[in-house]
Amino acid sequence: MTEETRLRDLMCTLAKSLFDRGLTHGSTGNISARTADGGLLVSPTGSSFGRLNPARLSRFDATGQHVDGDLPTKEMPLHKAFYDTRSQAGAVVHLHSCHAVAWSLMPDVDEDDFLPPLTPYAIMQLGRVKLLPFYRPGDPAMGDAVKGLAGKRSAVMLANHGPVVAGKDVEAACNAIEELEATARLAVLTCGCHRRLLNKGQVADIVSSFNVEWEA
């Protein structure tokens, strides 16, 4: 089995796991990963995370040309923006996860720090998450908005739409986006309660202890 074949299988296995646990639904969500030759594997347009075919993933070469497989997701500008601005990005995942979307609808959410500091794990895996405004699905302006962050954020939340996370590899990206959804779920469940958030000193200690990329 070649390295690319293993990557194709892993992408589809992880996508199905996300789908089976309800983190995305129907034909929503998209996933991409860097190949060893600098190209990309991308989930096709209109495809379901529950039924991705490893052989039909969209294949791009290192120059960005589509060379094999089905047509890619319409959110390619979003994926490309992360790869163009974050040299360490090896994979990008976008979901329509319920609690993250629900939290994005709340009027008082901090645009520069989308997730409240409820546990250390979202801080460790995501850093600060930027809430971006609503864009029409597939709008290239989403990619422009990510490029405007100049590679300083590994995760964004598209308001009324869903989260997008870049990771060093496809497993890291999937783990991080799951943590984003879990933290958003906690935020929704505790909304209106007198919550004991992590204080600034505790957050700073986590950032320092785990060498978290933390854009002030």
Look up the pTM and report it: 0.96
Q: Which alpha helices (DSSP H) does 86-199 contain, by range?
A: 98-104, 120-126, 141-147, 170-189
- What is the predicted pLDDT for the residue at 215? 76
Q: What percent of the chain has pLDDT over 90?
A: 98
- When the candidates are 3.40.225.10, 3.20.20.10, 3.30.499.10, 3.20.10.10, the CATH number that belongs to 3-209 is 3.40.225.10
Which amino acid is it at 38?
Answer: G
Q: Where are the domains of the chain?
A: 3-209
- pLDDT band of 93, cuts 50, 70, 90: very high
Instruction: Give tens-digit pLDDT for 101-150.
Output: 999 999 999 999 999 999 999 999 999 999 999 999 999 999 999 999 99
Q: Catalytic residues, which ones? A: 75, 121
Query: What does the block give as tokens for 187?
Result: 């935020």
Longest CA span, the chain:
54
Q: DSSP assignment, residue 188?
A: H
Does residue 45 have a pLDDT over 70?
Answer: yes
Does residue 216 have a pLDDT over 90?
Answer: no
Q: Can you state the percent helix, strand and coil of the chain, rounding each to 5?
A: 40, 15, 45
Which of the pair, 19 or 216, is modelled with greater confidence? 19
- What is the predicted pLDDT for the residue at 1? 76
Q: How many Cβ atoms are within 10 Å of 16's Cβ, its own excluded?
A: 15
